[in-house]
Amino acid sequence: MNCEETRQWLGAHRDGELDLVSAAEVDQHLQRCADCTALARGRDTWTRALATAAPRYAPSENLQRNIEAMIARESRRENRRPVASRSIWQIFVGVTALAAMLVLGFELGARHEQAALFSRDLISRHTLAMNSDHLTEVVSSDRHTVKPWLAQHLDFSPPVVDLAVDGFPLNGARIENVGTTSIAALVYHRHAHVITVYVWPRGALGLPATEILRGFHVQPWQQGEWNFVAISDVAGGELSDFAEKLRRSIGAERL
């Protein structure tokens, strides 16, 4: 290895990130080259100085307390089961589902619970986006604007269609972060209502449960390589109708 090559690898070498063979070659060069060794020492000096001189921003005590309080609230909310707000039918379904879960075993029950929690999470995101004025990050009814924007910000390019002709105009899109996975959220309008369609590649994350909660319908489905979830407070029949039109439109375009 000559000086030129060594100096290209020196950064990674000082970071301890070179593979054994390359590291050994750099070591050998450094043993016989005073100039490169001086550069290596200079880099080490710089790295130490940087770690000391650069500001390190520390969280306030308030922040930790607020986070702990928030987690405590969230945990209470998950555990709360207000029986009074449920109909007899929902209780019956709930009990039957519970019995089924016990029969099928804990493993399945855990997955079911996860799917149900995921539904609730997506509903929260839907309502939060509407109420906080952060409904969209790209505002456009043109799929030739929305699709590339999503492709730029995600590592996948979901199908995007406008259903204005059918009375469901596309409003735009945003990105939601579910744990470490980023998913697309397409925003449609239906009269005064908002429909969010979450889309992501099938392997990345499982589907949430089909659910009706506090007037919001959650309708998940798989199509091709994609997972879709439509969420809205429009009447259930309308959401199914929308989902059907979306399926057909996407299928037709072979996106």
Q: Site residues (CB under 8 A) for another protein?
A: 4, 7-12, 15, 17, 38-43, 45-60, 63-64, 66-68, 70-71, 74, 114, 117, 121, 134, 137, 139, 149, 152-153, 155, 174-175, 177-180, 182
Query: Between 75 and 240, whose beta carbon lies closer to another protein?
Result: 75
Query: Between 137 and 166, whose beta carbon lies closer to another protein?
Result: 137
Output the six-digit token pair for 51: 């770690």
From 209, 223, 215, 204, select the one nearest 121 (Cα to Cα): 209
Query: Between 39 and 130, whose beta carbon lies closer to another protein?
Result: 39
Range 58-92 burial, b when 16+ CB lie within 10 A, else e = eeeeeeeeeeeeeeeeeeeeeeeeeeeeeeeeeee
Query: Between 114 and 222, whose beta carbon lies closer to another protein?
Result: 114
Q: Are 195 and 238 in contact (CB under 8 A)?
A: no
Output the six-digit token pair for 87: 């109909």
Give min distance, CB of 141 to another protein, in A: 16
Q: At a CB cut-off of 8 Å and minimum separation 6, what does 87 contact?
A: none
Give min distance, CB of 59 to another protein, in A: 4
Output the six-digit token pair for 181: 């996975």
Give min distance, CB of 145 to another protein, in A: 12
Query: Between 39 and 255, whose beta carbon lies closer to another protein?
Result: 39
Q: Are 143 and 170 in contact (CB under 8 A)?
A: yes
Give min distance, CB of 92 to another protein, in A: 27
Give min distance, CB of 244 to another protein, in A: 30
**34-53 vs 3-14: helix crossing angle, rounded to 10:** 30
Q: At a CB cut-off of 8 Å and minimum separation 6, what does 127 contact?
A: 216
